[in-house]
Amino acid sequence: MRRILLAEDDQDFGIMLKQYLELNKFDVQWAKDGEEALSIFETAEFDICILDVMMPKLDGFSVAKKIVQAHPEIPFLFLTARKTKEDKIKGLKLGADDYIVKPFEAEELILRLQNIIKRAKQQITSEEIKIDGLIQIGNYQFDYHNLELTRNEQTEKITAKEANVLLYLYQHRNQLIKREAILLDIWKKNDFFSGRSMDVFITRIRKRLSNDPAISIESVRGIGLEFNIKNN
C-alpha cells in the first residue's frame, strides 16, 4: 500500500479526498496546514506528497522546498485553485512531478498519482546501474551512487533526478541527443509538463558545471541538445 502525505487546509475537500484515496488502496496521512505537513513528514516515510499551494502557516511551495532539501527523491505534486503561469513555473523549478488545478475529478488525481509512481519505479536507480568508482566529467568527479559532485575538493550534493539526467548526458556526450529521447528515457513520457521539467533540470546541471569552460550544454533548436566535454 502506497503511503501519501496529503496537505490540504479545506476541511470538506480534505475529507473527501482522503476517503477517495483510501478507497483506491492508498494509505493517507492528512495535514491541515503547512507546518503540520512538515511535522508529519519528519516522523514517517512516504511514497509521494500531495501539497495544496494555498495553506496557512506555510504554503505548499515552502513545504515542497523543505521536503526536497531533506528527501529529494520523494515525488510530489501540487493542488491549486490558481491558474497562473507563474505558479506552474515556480512548481516546476521546485521539482514538482505534476500540477493540478482545482476543480478536478478525483479519478484524474488517482491516474496521475499512479503514473508518477510508475515512473518512479521505472526510474534508473543506483542498484540497476553498474558503475564502479567515480566518473570524471571535465574537472568534476561525479559520484552517482552517493549523489555527489566534486571539484577542487569541494563537494556538493545533488538530487537523484539531477544525477540521472547528468549520467544520461554523460553517456551520450559529444553527440546530438534528441529531446524526445531524453524525455522518454528519463521521464517516461513526452508532454508539455515533462518538457518544462526537463528544461529546469538541464538549467540546474548547466549551473552546477559552470565552473569548467570545457563543458557545455548546447541547445539545438527544434531537435535537442549536445552535452560536450573537450578532451573527455
**CA torsion angle 28 31 37 43 (round to 10):** -60
Q: Is the pLDDT of residue 129 over 70?
A: no
Identify whether the C-beta of residue 165 lies closer than 8 Å to the C-beta of residue 202: yes
Give the fold, CATH level 3, of 2-122: Rossmann fold (3.40.50)
| Residue 107: CB atoms within 10 Å | 10
Q: Which three cell numbers stand for residue 9?
A: 487546509
Mean of the per-residue pLDDT values for the chain? Answer: 88
Question: Domain-by-domain residue ranges, the chain?
Answer: 2-122, 135-229
Provide the CB-side half-sphere exposure for 95 (13 A, CA): 23
pLDDT band at 30 (very low <50, low <70, confident <90, very high): very high
Query: Over the stretch 148-205, which tens digit does the pLDDT of each residue have?
Result: 999 998 999 998 889 989 999 998 999 899 998 899 888 878 888 888 889 989 999 9
Angle at 33 between CA 29 and CA 37, to 5 degrees: 45
What does CATH list as the number for 135-229?
Answer: 1.10.10.10
